Structure 1
């Protein structure tokens, strides 16, 4: 009977889906299906019973390490540390454990069914350069995160086979960090760590740093562009070693006909003394040229339509012409990380008349709250109260796209709406309507750090920085150029930094101009450099205090610290 046959078929299918192994907690179960394999590792399809998700079960043979308990403990600590890594371009590492009986180390990671970047590129022959730039930015952002740790986390075996793709979203993530951690501990058993074609010259020597990953990234990009494995002209690893250590680049580099692409690859393959870190490469013009079209920062589109106190949200800007400008606005938010705690955000506001405003501001993920920043924007930009929750939700979502485990803080004020200033300032490169803040009403806002504001003011006031800015409202022909200005371009500041807006002065704040882009890049580098200086100064202070107090007993030391904390500084 058909019904019995169906049940029998289900039984057969279920037998194929039985776990062949489970982890010690019995949360993860491994199937027999092999997703991939390498010289040291096999990857199986597995299932997370607690979350109901498919995962990857990575199994590495470490027989040599298990015979040395000291090396093994160090290895296990390093692999377990990977669980703390959280970045949108690093494969999630869930847990790890040791199978002493079979001499394996197992670790569970997220699964990518589109395969590796190498497989994906060979499957899809016609990939535009813009897509490769997007992949490159994601890989570099992941490397920047790893290298930003103290001490830096070095992959040591980066290649297209270790970068994984989510084909539905064009998302790439660096993987095999667990394997890299294991192999570096096993170097006594395996003299060469990594893949020869992707190994920087200094990797063959005793001393190297995180820049070996930048060299490997350059080889990855070369393979993506040319469809050739680097040094495929060599017959064996010895020939590759001889060329690499002699400074001879792969023959495939000569096949890169685009001079801009080739120059960028050569930057990555440069001598270690000339090689740039990931953070600086992310600011390279090659990767920035398509930044607006490619949406380096995640872009959210929310169309709001307010009627009788209700809020309706959509996802398209094209339908923003259905209602009056005052009632129908299209919000787009983009963000880009700068340093550890700061994300620079750009809010684009368009109404149905085509009037566009771009608001740029930094958000401190430790000090700021999204609801407070959203309220300040609504107050200063004459938006509606309903927009507060919309903008706040967009900021939350954008930050989580960069920092998945970020949790928004509660608003800094009380239920009566009394709250402290967030210390922000922001600027707008867009015109103001008649009902918005004008020269008669200074636009004070709490949206950038004082450093950010000073640089923004310099940008606005410096005639050399903005050659097309007007003096007393007189442009080349007595007014602002319509090609340069979308109406009256205005900068919003607080306190004495307020600039009068209106007919007296039309200030060019064209965010898309090369001058402004250069200042933004310089600002990012300055903030990162100054943060490092602050951290170093903090460490020196801590060392000085420790040195001063080291001769005191713990009880007296604590008492001295308490006295100092309660003594006002004069």
Structure 2
């Protein structure tokens, strides 16, 4: 692919790595990192757009084949998904020389929802409902996909935002499960504060994502991570198993918002699906018009 080099390009930022097709170039700037992968700012030279270069050092997991399989599963999953509220995958490859798994995804300009919400303390209820509705649309796509996909680790740190458009996208599908016609899964995985009680019983369906979504809404409204009053995982587990709600829920004065979150946190048999929640009266008339557009501070 021919590239146009600017004249006198000595002061342009240099790539530290390019993909085998030479279409994508990685900059040294780190956008984020976790226990498994690092995410760098990168550039798609063909389309002229910024992208995210996700990189996993495979040698770190040479003695953990289960984790390696999970990583490759995320890539395979993303490759088969196409929804505007789920992060898009553009390209992936393994670099044998550097012993890395690399995949190029779209980049969201404003980072994750947790940091975005902390940065912007004054957000209207209308905006929060718009974000919530987009997350539900992404979940509904996954849950009605054939086969059904359960995210299993939905929380505000792996939901991403384009702040200039208000667009919200679900990412980090590394713990997602593809389930058959019975829609049930059996592994204990996820972020404790956001995990539904039935997850701990190792017998659950895609409705665990709805519970996690409810906790995301709680965090969006209060800017508090659920169960932050607990100082360890065991205490969170004890409260979740006993059906004790996070203290943050009591700080919500708006009864409509509180009731909506409670519907998401209900027992599995009473918990609505993403499709049902998209039709919930909670979203009536408030997403597209300014009525009841009060500010949450």
Whether TM-score is above 0.5 comes out as yes
Q: Which of 188, 192, 199 is 2:195 aligned to?
A: 199
Cα distance between partner residues in 2 of 1:53 and 1:159: 27
Aligned to 1:163: 159
Aligned to 2:175: 180
Aligned to 2:22: 26
Change (3 A) 1:126 1:273: same
Aligned to 1:226: 222
Deviation at 1:80, TM superposition (A): 2.2
Change (3 A) 1:74 1:117: closer
CA deviation profile, 1:448-475 (whole Å, cap 9, x unmatched): xxxxxxxxxxxxxxxxxxxxxxxxxxxx
> Does 2:84 align with 1:98?
no
User: Does structure 2 conserve the Cα–Cα contact (< 8 Å) formed by 1:75 and 1:181?
Assistant: no
Deviation at 1:72, TM superposition (A): 5.2
Cα distance between partner residues in 2 of 1:163 and 1:27: 27
User: Does structure 1 conserve the Cα–Cα contact (< 8 Å) formed by 2:126 and 2:287?
Assistant: no
Deviation at 1:90, TM superposition (A): 1.0
Alignment of 1:492-531 (within 5 A): none
| Corresponding pairs, count | 276
TM-score (normalised: structure 2) = 0.84
Cα distance between partner residues in 2 of 1:209 and 1:43: 30
Change (3 A) 1:211 1:70: closer
Deviation at 1:289, TM superposition (A): 3.2
Match of 1:58, SS state, is strand
User: Does structure 2 conserve the Cα–Cα contact (< 8 Å) formed by 1:80 and 1:95?
Assistant: no
Aligned to 2:134: 138
Q: Which of 245, 250, 263 is 2:246 aligned to?
A: 250
Cα distance between partner residues in 2 of 1:202 and 1:292: 35
Change (3 A) 1:227 1:51: same
CA deviation profile, 1:89-139 (whole Å, cap 9, x unmatched): 111111222234544322111111211111111111111101111111111
Cα distance between partner residues in 1 of 2:232 and 2:67: 31
Q: Runs of at least 4 residues of structure 1 off by over 6 A?
A: 68-71
Cα distance between partner residues in 1 of 2:66 and 2:120: 46
Task: Identify unmatched segments of 5+ residues in structure 1.
Answer: 1-6, 183-190, 295-570
Aligned to 2:264: 268
> Does 2:270 align with 1:281?
no
Change (3 A) 1:37 1:192: farther
Cα distance between partner residues in 2 of 1:269 and 1:73: 31
Change (3 A) 1:66 1:26: farther
Change (3 A) 1:168 1:108: same
> Does 2:116 align with 1:116?
no
User: Does structure 1 conserve the Cα–Cα contact (< 8 Å) formed by 2:55 and 2:100?
Assistant: yes
User: Does structure 2 conserve the Cα–Cα contact (< 8 Å) formed by 1:34 and 1:44?
Assistant: yes
Alignment of 1:397-416 (within 5 A): none
Q: Which of 206, 214, 227 is 1:210 aligned to?
A: 206
Task: Identify unmatched segments of 5+ residues in structure 2.
Answer: 1-6, 178-186, 291-297
